[in-house]
């Protein structure tokens, strides 16, 4: 069910985004994947009780696994609640997993979750094939954003 995408997918509702990713990484390519979830996890995610900080994807034995995604326990879950930080399997095609494995091993790239959203009633994860930024790249981005902000302010003053 995974589709290769280069732009943000049309979504019915964004549940969470990983804001640190754009600051710390260059996103080269993005993919859409399904997540294997328990019932109480789905209910917590729909209540937006998710933290994507420090989460990443690892490929183990031909399967993509999401690690360190924190989904808080559901309030009314009782004994059926889930472990908040358990490993979750991602649903990707075998060819995509093989391609991603080779990219990660050869080029030293990382698979980072970018966004969690609802699409046609299913919870999906947007994955990014990322390359880490150096400190110099981060400084250049900050300079460019500052310059853009100042130019925008100057344009609004003229009007």
pTM of the predicted model, to two decimals?
0.71
* Tens digits of residue pLDDT in 16-44: 888 888 778 888 999 999 999 887 888 88
> How does DSSP assign 85-110, residue by residue?
T--EEEE--HHHHHHHHHHHHHH--E
For residue 10, is pLDDT > 70? no
The pLDDT value recorded for residue 64 is: 92
Look up the domain containing 23 and give its range: 4-133
Q: How much is the average pLDDT of 127-150? A: 86
In a domain, residue 67? The reply is yes
In a domain, residue 45? The reply is yes
The pLDDT value recorded for residue 11 is: 42
C-alpha to C-alpha distances, 132 to 31, 75, 77, 118, 127, nearest whole angstrom:
18, 37, 39, 28, 15
Q: Which two tokens stand for residue 142?
A: 């900050």
Look up the CATH number of the domain holding residue 15.
2.40.280.10
The pLDDT value recorded for residue 6 is: 44
The pLDDT value recorded for residue 35 is: 92
In a domain, residue 138? The reply is no
| Residue indicated by tokens 């729909």 | 46
Of 137 and 18, more confident: 18
For residue 8, is pLDDT > 80? no
In a domain, residue 95? The reply is yes
Give the length of the chain: 159
**Number of domains forming the structure of the chain:** 1
Least confident of 34-43, 51-60, 72-81: 72-81
In a domain, residue 105? The reply is yes
In a domain, residue 144? The reply is no
In a domain, residue 158? The reply is no
In a domain, residue 140? The reply is no
Helices (H), the chain: 19-24, 39-46, 94-107, 135-158
* Tens digits of residue pLDDT in 80-131: 677 777 888 999 999 999 999 988 888 888 899 999 998 988 889 999 999 8
């Amino acid at each position: 069910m995974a589709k290769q995408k280069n732009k943000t997918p049309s979504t019915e509702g964004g549940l969470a985004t990983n804001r640190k990713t754009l600051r710390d990484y260059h996103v080269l390519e993005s993919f859409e994947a399904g997540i294997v979830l328990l019932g109480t996890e789905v209910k917590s995610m729909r209540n937006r009780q998710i933290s994507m900080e420090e989460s990443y994807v690892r490929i183990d034995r031909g399967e993509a696994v999401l690690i360190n995604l924190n989904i808080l326990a559901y309030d009314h879950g009782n004994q059926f609640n889930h472990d908040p930080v358990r490993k979750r399997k991602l649903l990707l095609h075998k060819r995509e997993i093989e391609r991603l494995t080779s990219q990660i091993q050869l080029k030293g790239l990382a698979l980072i979750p970018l966004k969690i959203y609802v699409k046609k009633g299913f919870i999906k994860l947007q994955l990014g094939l990322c390359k880490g930024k150096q400190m110099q790249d981060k400084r250049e981005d900050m300079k460019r954003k500052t310059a853009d902000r100042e130019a925008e302010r100057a344009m609004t003053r003229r009007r």
